[in-house]
Amino acid sequence: MKLKVCGMKYIDNIQQTAELNPDYLGFIFYEKSKRNFEGIIPELPKEIKKTGVFVNEIPEILVSMIEEYQLDAIQLHGDESVEYIKSIREQLEFSRTSFIEQNKGRKKVKKPKSYQNLEIIKVFGIKDEFNFDVLQPYLEEVDYFLFDTKGKERGGNGTKFDWSVLEQYPFEKPFFLSGGIGPEDIEQIQIVRKTNLPIYALDVNSKFEIKPGLKNTNEVKNFKNKLEI
């Protein structure tokens, strides 16, 4: 099971959290979020996947952000359609091929990064029940689903949904488990891990914070060690 620490905001804290070797670090690019990230992401170990979190972003802006921050994954937290996701992949490839064509023959021009392996995570909110049929059209277009608690905010609500709803999950597509996960949930997580559910990663955020965007690295470290992830 992988670990994603989301809602990073402060450079020193990003570097300290990166030293714990989570598999993913999440940066929220959404102005309405208390954890909205602005600035420069410090250099991270290659093993840590830089993940940009977006909510109904204009496709052209999203593509430019992927390129600017050299993202390894994007997490779509809005109402993004299958067509929207297809267009993102197409625009990334078009942008790369256009750059190569325009700079053909020039020396010392580094080829832009290929985003063929960009991971796309599509988020769905769950409360007391969920119709998993809505996931079917996305199966071929995304790498992972992420199940979060449906609430007032687009994530970071700090509350858990009823995990027993996931017992009805009918697909093999792996998913991230999110929504108010904290240090007190270790025992329940261990129980869920023993099921046949394809839980790929845990996504943690607000329950490990000193204030929005500032993570308590000692708590993250203890959580990671106790779960052996």
Average of pLDDT values for 190-215? Answer: 96
Kind of pairing between the strands at 49-54 and 209-211: unpaired
Single-letter code of the amino acid located at 90: E
Three-state SS letters, the chain: CEEEECCCCCHHHHHHHHCCCCCEEEEECCCCCCCECCCCCCCCCCCCEEEEEECCCCHHHHHHHHHHHCCCEEEECCCCCHHHHHHHHHHHHHHHHHHHHHCCCCCCCCCCCCCCCCEEEEEEEECCCCCHHHHHHHCCCCCEEEEEECCCCCCCCCCCCCHHHHHHCCCCCCEEECCCCCHHHHHHHHHHHCCCCCEEEEEECHHHEEECCEECHHHHHHHHHHHCC
Average of pLDDT values for 74-102? Answer: 92
- Position 154 scores a pLDDT of 59
- 152 has a pLDDT exceeding 70: no
Average of pLDDT values for 57-62? Answer: 96
- 111 has a pLDDT exceeding 90: no
Residue 110 pLDDT level (bands cut at 50, 70, 90): confident
- C-alpha 135/C-alpha 88 separation (Å) is 19
Instruction: Pull the structure tokens for residue 209.
Output: 């914070």
Percentage of residues of the chain with pLDDT beyond 90: 83
Average of pLDDT values for 33-48? Answer: 96
Q: How far apart are the first and last CA of the chain?
A: 6
Query: Model pTM?
Result: 0.93
Q: Of the ranges 104-113, 184-193, 208-217, which one carries the lowest mean pLDDT score?
A: 104-113
Instruction: Pull the structure tokens for residue 76.
Output: 């779509």
Q: Of the ranges 92-96, 109-113, 164-168, 200-204, which one carries the lowest mean pLDDT score?
A: 109-113
Residue 116 pLDDT level (bands cut at 50, 70, 90): confident
